[in-house]
Structure formats: structure tokens, C-alpha cells
Structure 1
Amino acid sequence: MPVDVDRHAALAKELLPPGRLLVGDDRPDGDAGTYAHVNPATGREQAAVTLAGPGQVGAAVDAARAAAVRWRDLRPDGRRGALLRLAALVRRDAERIGGVLTLECAVPAATAAALPRRAADYLEYYAGYADKLEGRVIPIFPENAFDYTLTEPYGVIGIISTWNGGISSVARKAGAALAAGNTVVVKPMELAPFSSLLFGELALEAGLPAGVVNVVPGDEVAGAALVRHPGVDKISFTGGQRAARAILTDAAQSIKPVVLELGGKSGNIVFPDADLAAAGRFAGTVCMGMAGQGCVFPTRLIVHESVHDQVVATAVVTAAALPVGDPLDPATAVGPVVSAAARDRILGMLGRALAGPTPAGELLLGGGPADASADPALADGFFLAPTILDRVDPAAQIAQEEVFGPVLSVLTFRDEDEAVALANGTPYGLAGYVHTTDLRRAHRVAARLDAGYISLGGFAALPASAPFGGFGRSGYGKEGGRAGLDEFVRAKNVYLPM
């Protein structure tokens, strides 16, 4: 799939919004410098993004606070209608948003086409809850009293989103927060700010009052300013370990609650009675999507030793056949990773895994940059070959830490207990996958896996109605479903003696 450099450049001019801030209904340039945004597929600069400094983050928080009372006191059907209008606009502009996702972080076209629809799904789902946040009457005895609970919004929610979630991640967080009556300040990474900026513009077009949704692209300094600001009542963060620790440290200064959706190192267990051909194809395909840049992907294949050869052979053939190339091409399965720094980090992890007299595993496929012999433009972008390492040492870095690249580690097990121990044998706990035709075993293993989202026989669909969130180093709190809404409301008890 040759990279069409000229098409990328033309679409960037056509589709990308101006790289400015959205503060209330103002669109100022950022005052913390300009970020030269590089297209991951071409390696060329395609746009300039002005970054928010701490003062502008503060202005966005002030705008959100100024709008908070009006938004909170709006009739619930008014909030519902506004969110439904926003969802309709996201669906209307889905083609443009999908193109922006491909340009800003190289989401392959087929996936990019689906993500705006998922964003709209979340907005529609949470719109339906805007008038269903009910309190309860509490039975009181032996006293004669009337006791009841109220649900109310926190106020201003700071949303710090990573680059790979794009508009669907922002909609999942913001949809719940807005339905509950909060206002939001969204701080997207400078690597991928454009779909978040479009979300903010569509919110204004949908009739949400100015200040209800604010968008301030920025770096870690801007993120820290948002977390530390006394006008922010709660933080919802998606990203990596280092940033999460910094956020928790800053939030602790004001005892500010935080929701964390972090990384994963999800195990994919294949038992001997599974559909082995399907399990092998699944293993060789799913973790390579988005060039492996998905926190929920099954990046560790944990296969029974008796069927190891068959399953792994299928996975290798499947992964080797995946089309690597231009993410604008609908036929492309594996595009580039997001940046040169990401590419170099992944290659460094692979180099350490394969170095020395006792490597961490046997290289079966890939292991380096994508083959550019048929398309020299691949060498200019940040493309890596789908990679499979076999019989990996479970204690090795490559098996313990999130790679966030197109890399599959294969481990083997002898019995169910060992399979569960291997799956639970990392600090993460985001997702788990089980392939078996034994329904009792499937549910038994699902109950034993220390992960927040379990998929039996397929990929995690993550519908808007399902709660999503991890354990351990994968974070805490939930997004999606009613549980995701509850993260943005607080309960108040009222007691009246009779």
C-alpha cells in the first residue's frame, strides 16, 4: 500500500482545523509556543499547533466555571437534547473526522471511519441518562424522619486524553460528564489535538453554551496546570504510567479525585479445545491493528503447549500477510506508529529482548522497520513490521511492559492454573481473552483473571453501555456504561426529622 505523500498534504490543508485553543467561544493562539505536527505516515510536518500555557489553561477553567451553574441548572431534557444534537453533528461530519484521525495519528482508514460513530454512540447513550439521575428515599428507624439522597455534578471536569483515543475517547468521557451536569476542559496531547478541537467546535454548533466544552492543546506543563487548578473538581485521564504518577502527585495536593485509564499487557489464553485456526488468526491480527497502539489489545498469546505449533504457525502466516502501508488506503491493516520517538522506543525494547547469548524469545517474524523495498516512502514514515516473538521468558521486559507497537509475545502453559498465573503475571489488569469451547471453563477462567474487561472467544467490542476500566497498573475507575456516568456525579444525603 504505497504512501501517497501528495494526497496526505492536500488532505491536511482541507481537513485539519486551525491549531488554536477553544476557550469559551474564543479561539486564541496558544502562548506556550508552537508544535510542528508531523504526519506519522510521511514523516513530514503538516500543520502547526499553538500550545496553551498555564494562564490560558486557567482561562479555560474560568470559562468552564462561569458556564457550570447555567449548565447544571438547565432542565435535564435540555442537556439531553444538546447532547443528541452534538451526536448528530458528529455523525454528519464522520467522514471528515475519520480523515483527521488518520492524518493526526495514522489510524487506518477502515478503523477511522468507525471511531466517529462510536463517539456518537457514547453521546447518544449518555444523553439518555440526563433525565434519569434519580435519588433515593432511605428508610430510617426507629426515628421518625425523612431521609433521601440527591445526585449532583462535581462542577468542572479536567479531561486529559492521550493521542490514540481521539474523538471517541473524548466523547466517552465528556458525554458522561456533560450528561451529569458538569462542564469540561479537554487537554489533548500535542501529538493529536485536531479531532478534540473539532469536538469542541461541534459542541458550540450543537448549542451547548460557551464554556461548557473548552479545548486547550498542550504539553505536560499544561496538563499539570489543569490538574493543580483549584477550579477543577475532578480529573479523568487516559495515558501512560509516568504521566499518571505525576497527575496523582499533583492531585494529592488538593485531595482531588482522579479516574485513570492506563495501559495494558493483556493475555490471550488458547486452550486445546478451541477453534485453533480462528484463535491463530485472531492472535496474528488483533494486536497488530493500529500498529499495536491500543491499550486493550491482546499482546501476549498464552497457548497450551500441545497446540502451540499449530496456533503460532497460523498467527505468523496471518500477521505476515497483513498489508502494511498508507493509512489512507482502506485496504491497509497496519499503518505507522505515532512518532519517531515511539518507533525508536519500540525498536529499543525489541533490541534488548533479542540481545545477548540468552535472548528473551525467538524471533519468528519482523523485528525491525517495515520493508521499504517496494515503497521507499515507508522509510520516511514511522512504519514497523508486524513482529512475533516465540517462547518468551514471562519475566522479560517485553512480556511485562506495554510495548504499544505491533509486537506479539508468545508464552506456553501446561494446565489451567498455569495459564491463569501467566495471564495475571504482570502489573497490569486491563483486559483478558479466553479461547475455549468449554463454557464452564470459559466462565471459570474469566472469574479468575485479574482484569477489568474479559472477552470470551473474540475481541472486546466495548459497547457504549458496557463499563470499561482496569485493575492494578491499568488504573482505576470506569468509563462507559452507567458506571462511567457515576464517576461524574456525587451523592448528597438530606435528613429531616419529622
Structure 2
Amino acid sequence: MSDLFIGGAWSPAATGRSFPTLNPADGTVITTCAEAGPADVDRAVGAAREAADAWAAHPEHLRARLLWRVADLIEANAEELAELESRDSGQLLGVAREVSVPGTAEHFRYFAGWCTKIQGAVLPVAFPDTLHYTRREPVGVCALITPWNFPLMIAAWKLAPALACGNTVIIKPAEQTPLSTVRLVELMSEAGFPPGVVNLLTGGPGTGRALAAHPGVDKISFTGSTEVGRSLVSAAAGGLKRLTLELGGKAPSIIAADADLDAAVAGNLTGALFHSGQVCAAYARFYVDRERADEFTEKMAAGAAALRIGPGDDPASRLGPLVSEEHLRSVDAHVRGAVYEGADLVGGGRRVDRPGFFYEPAVFAGVTDDMAIAREEVFGPVIPVLAYDDPDELVARANALEYGLAASIWTRDLSTAHRLAARIRAGAIFINMIHVPDAATTWGGYKASGWGREMGPYAIDAYTEVKGVWTHLGPGSR
């Protein structure tokens, strides 16, 4: 049983309620977690608010040491964290070891470096004999709500910059995959954060809505679906809370006529099927020159069929399970709907006959822009191939959806690549490569894919308020 962490102490939910978290590789219960209710949200917000002033005044270099200490503890407990991540989310153990855990440590180290570099500026103003300068100050109490696909690393994307900027936090992981975040908070407590600076609430959507609506919360950072993001905007509107939202995506991948097709197939297989397609920036609609579309589709189908499907802790596995029975049914409904609409299912598209939530990658040919499979976020191992005749039509087709998180371009002509990159409305463009975030640069989306940016110096903007200070330097006063 996993408890809540509020004000520096672990305790059960006020109601005593709990919920199970499952292993998606076999559907069995791993453990149960406390389900936070309104009273627990009140306690966590109260603890964070009580700690806020002292933490904001905590010397910056000491804040940095705490964040660095967390990174050290993550590395010291790397194998345990990787196994938790794999078991709870279905993530391949190799991915957890090589991407999620090192990425988590790197985010804490990167933002540890920022602690002593958050500064204002002296600005010239039109008024004579006046000194004007700005200060960057913490926003206050931040509610951080994370998704189920990369729970550990995305928690770090939010926790590290929020704490570096002097905010206190309440982290709420997705109810499907809370365990690595629980362990991370244990390590943060071990690192020595003062009581109330870091708080943990486990629970379902109701817990997230209660945090969003709570008058004691100053900011919400949420990563998840566009639908849930919209609901959080509504819940937070009354308090005019600051929001950072990283939401859904339907990333277009453009394969130009001159692309190295074998490289494009290899890159797009990874871009589409990394973590079984359960990635917000997954390549999810493939625009291929018509003369090469059949060859691309055949090679994608063959490559997908060759990937071994199995549990995350099996070194031979190349595709793990989907996160839940509910999500598997959603993916399968999209596949069946595409067949109904007339798309040609070239390969896969079936549940694997074994315990757990495994699904064969589905590759479609003959997809058109009006089909749901080309418009809706599936968040699973589905590859719809759309042919094009005129390169001039690509930008309009790529930009036609409400999403704008990421896009990919495959071409030997860098002029083509950079012209397309400038015109496609998405927060991250990847040229001849897969989608990879980095602590030092920006992450976030256009349109319905979100508000604001995470990572790099952009995260400092997200977690600070800018205050202007005016001082008259002449005699007397104005």
C-alpha cells in the first residue's frame, strides 16, 4: 500500500480509500495506492502554502545542492526506478534504463544549475531620474499533474524547474502509473527538502480537478490529453490560475520524394512505435510521395511485423503492452473504424493472444485526410500512410488538424526541410531523426496541443512571475 506524502509525512487518505495499479504485461495488481480526496487536497495545499515563503527565501545555492542530491539518489537507485517504471507502465526495461531514468537525473542536474542564474534586469525607462529593474519571483504553490506514458521523466520535467524557481509543489501522477513517482518523492524526502515543499497526492481525475479548482493553488502544469486539458482550464478559470499545458498530438511525418527511404522507414518505425506508440509526439500520419508510397508502406509493415511483442522486462521484447484494457479497446476501436471507412489494413491490427494488454502494430494504406485514423489521436501502434502528388499541398495538409505538438521531415534537400519546418505549425520539428526531448531546449505545442513551454530557459518563464520595481532618484517625490 502506498500512502500520500503531505507536509513531510506519509499518511493514508482521509477517507481510507485506495485504488489498484496494474502490471499491463499480465493484468495483475502490483499494489494499491491511497486515493486522495478533497480533505487531502486541502491538507496538501495548506502544507505547500505554509512552506512557500521560507522555500522562496531559501538560498539559491542550497536549493541547487538539493536538486543535485536528488540526481545522485536517482542514479544510486537507477535499477529499482527502471524496474518500477517498466512494471507499472509497460515501458521496455531497456528504455527505462537508458532513457527515462538518466533523463530524470539530467533534468534535476540541469535545473540545479539554473538556481543561481535566475535574475532580473535593469531597464531604461522614459521617466527622468528613475531607476527601473525587474525581479523574477516564484509563482507560489504549483500543482503538477503528469500522464501515464513516461511518469518518472515527465515528473522531473515539472518538479525540477518549479523547485529551482522557489515554488512549492504538489505532484499528482496518473492513477495508472503512480509507483515511480512515489519512489521519486521518497528520494526527494531523503535528499532533505523541507516539509511541505514537495507533496504527493495519488488519485484519479477527481483529485486533479480538485487541485485545479483549489483557491490555494497558484499554477497548474499538466501533461495529458487535450480533452482533459480543456476540463482543467474550466476548473482553473475561476481563480485565473497560471497554466502550462502539454496536450495531445497527431504528428505528421513528411517523406519527400528524394528521401533515403530505408533510413526513413527505420526512423519512422521508431518514431511511430516507441513505447508502443504511447507518446504525445509519436509520428502518427505519414505523407509519402505517391510514387514511393507503396514501397514505404510495404517496408513499414514488414518492419512492424518483425518487432517482437512481449513484457517490458524481457530483453528480447521490442514492443511492450498498452497501458490498460481500456486503452487497448480504444486503439482497437480506431483500427476497426479505419477498416470500416475504407482504409486498407496491410498488416497487424489485432490483439495478441496472451495475458496482458498487447496489440500488433497496425499499418494502413489508402488513407485519406477525412478518415478518423488520419485526424484523431490514437496514442497507440497505428501507422496510417497518406499519399501526396504535389509537394505544395503538404503544408496545408500537415496544418489542417487542431494539433500542433511535433512534426517530422525526411529529405536529402535541406532547403526543402527548412522551408517546411518554418511553415508547419508545431512546437518541435525533427528533420531526418526521431522525436527526442532535451532538458536544455523547448518542449510544447501550438493550437490544441497546449499552452506554454517546458524545459530549458523557457521553463524558468513558466515558473516565475516578473515584477517591475521603480525608484525615483531625484529630490522630492512624484
TM-score range, shorter chain: over 0.9
Letter in 2 for 1:53: G
Q: 2:343 aligns with which of 357, 361, 379?
A: 361
Post-superposition offset of 1:46: 2.1
Post-superposition offset of 1:484: 1.5
Letter in 2 for 1:23: I
Q: 2:87 aligns with which of 84, 91, 103?
A: 103
2:283 aligns to what SS in structure 1? coil
Alpha-carbon distance in 1 for matches of 2:376, 2:29? 31
What's the counterpart of residue 25 of structure 2?
Answer: 41
Aligned counterparts, 1:163-182, within 5 A = 163-182=148-167
Post-superposition offset of 1:225: 1.2
1:83 aligns to what SS in structure 2? helix
Assess if the C-alpha contact under 8 Å between 1:126 and 1:485 holds in 2. Answer: no
What's the counterpart of residue 131 of structure 2?
Answer: 146
What's the counterpart of residue 50 of structure 2?
Answer: 66
Alpha-carbon distance in 2 for matches of 1:389, 1:30? 47
TM-score calculated relative to the size of structure 1? 0.93
Query: 2:393 aligned with 1:393, yes or no?
Result: no
- Unpaired runs of 5+ residues, structure 2, are 474-478
1:137 aligns to what SS in structure 2? coil
Query: 2:255 aligned with 1:270, yes or no?
Result: yes
What's the counterpart of residue 439 of structure 2?
Answer: 464
Alpha-carbon distance in 2 for matches of 1:350, 1:184? 40
What's the counterpart of residue 409 of structure 1?
Answer: 384
Alpha-carbon distance in 1 for matches of 2:332, 2:296? 26
What's the counterpart of residue 7 of structure 1?
Answer: none
Alpha-carbon distance in 2 for matches of 1:19, 1:304? 52
1:319 aligns to what SS in structure 2? helix
Letter in 2 for 1:215: L
Q: 1:448 aligns with which of 423, 426, 443?
A: 423
Alpha-carbon distance in 2 for matches of 1:283, 1:190? 30
1:116 aligns to what SS in structure 2? helix
Query: 2:210 aligned with 1:225, yes or no?
Result: yes
Alpha-carbon distance in 1 for matches of 2:295, 2:335? 24
Q: 2:235 aligns with which of 243, 250, 259?
A: 250
Post-superposition offset of 1:165: 2.3
Alpha-carbon distance in 1 for matches of 2:94, 2:454? 24
The structure-2 alpha-carbon separation of the partners of 1:360 and 1:491, relative to structure 1 and needing over 3 Å to count, comes to farther
334-343 or 133-142: which moved more?
Answer: 133-142
Q: 2:334 aligns with which of 324, 328, 349?
A: 349
Runs of 4+ aligned residues of structure 1 deviating over 3 Å after TM superposition are: none
Assess if the C-alpha contact under 8 Å between 2:74 and 2:101 holds in 1. Answer: yes
25-34 or 246-255: which moved more?
Answer: 25-34
TM-score calculated relative to the size of structure 2? 0.97
Alpha-carbon distance in 2 for matches of 1:218, 1:227? 14
What's the counterpart of residue 12 of structure 2?
Answer: 29
What per-residue deviation string (whole Å, max 9, x for no partner) do you get for residues 252-289 of structure 1? 01111111101110011011111111111222333112
Query: 2:216 aligned with 1:241, yes or no?
Result: no
Assess if the C-alpha contact under 8 Å between 2:63 and 2:164 holds in 1. Answer: yes
Q: 2:285 aligns with which of 280, 295, 300?
A: 300
Letter in 2 for 1:401: E
What per-residue deviation string (whole Å, max 9, x for no partner) do you get for residues 79-131 of structure 1? 01110001111111111111011111101111111201101111111110101
Letter in 2 for 1:72: A
Query: 2:329 aligned with 1:323, yes or no?
Result: no
Aligned counterparts, 1:105-120, within 5 A = 105-113=89-97, 114-120=99-105
Post-superposition offset of 1:398: 1.1
2:4 aligns to what SS in structure 1? coil
The structure-2 alpha-carbon separation of the partners of 1:92 and 1:298, relative to structure 1 and needing over 3 Å to count, comes to same
Aligned-residue CA RMSD (Å): 1.1
What per-residue deviation string (whole Å, max 9, x for no partner) do you get for residues 38-65 of structure 1? 2110011221112111110111111111
Q: 1:75 aligns with which of 59, 62, 85?
A: 59
Letter in 1 for 2:170: V
Aligned counterparts, 1:476-491, within 5 A = 476-491=451-466
Matched pairs, number: 471
Assess if the C-alpha contact under 8 Å between 2:100 and 2:150 holds in 1. Answer: no
Query: 2:109 aligned with 1:134, yes or no?
Result: no
Aligned counterparts, 1:154-165, within 5 A = 154-165=139-150
Letter in 1 for 2:27: G
Letter in 2 for 1:394: D
Alpha-carbon distance in 2 for matches of 1:261, 1:284? 24
What's the counterpart of residue 6 of structure 1?
Answer: none
Alpha-carbon distance in 2 for matches of 1:381, 1:210? 40
What per-residue deviation string (whole Å, max 9, x for no partner) do you get for residues 333-375 of structure 1? 11111111001111111112112xxx341100111112x3xxx
2:426 aligns to what SS in structure 1? coil
1:131 aligns to what SS in structure 2? helix
What's the counterpart of residue 12 of structure 1?
Answer: none
Assess if the C-alpha contact under 8 Å between 2:297 and 2:363 holds in 1. Answer: no
Assess if the C-alpha contact under 8 Å between 2:249 and 2:280 holds in 1. Answer: yes
Query: 2:320 aligned with 1:338, yes or no?
Result: no
Assess if the C-alpha contact under 8 Å between 1:281 and 1:314 holds in 2. Answer: no
Assess if the C-alpha contact under 8 Å between 2:268 and 2:434 holds in 1. Answer: no
1:432 aligns to what SS in structure 2? strand
What's the counterpart of residue 188 of structure 1?
Answer: 173
Alpha-carbon distance in 2 for matches of 1:197, 1:63? 18
Post-superposition offset of 1:140: 2.0
Post-superposition offset of 1:231: 1.2
What per-residue deviation string (whole Å, max 9, x for no partner) do you get for residues 422-463 of structure 1? 221211000000001111111100001110000000012211
What's the counterpart of residue 476 of structure 2?
Answer: none
Query: 2:477 aligned with 1:492, yes or no?
Result: no
Assess if the C-alpha contact under 8 Å between 1:282 and 1:315 holds in 2. Answer: no
Post-superposition offset of 1:142: 4.7
Alpha-carbon distance in 2 for matches of 1:211, 1:331? 43
The structure-2 alpha-carbon separation of the partners of 1:133 and 1:152, relative to structure 1 and needing over 3 Å to count, comes to same
Alpha-carbon distance in 1 for matches of 2:28, 2:182? 21
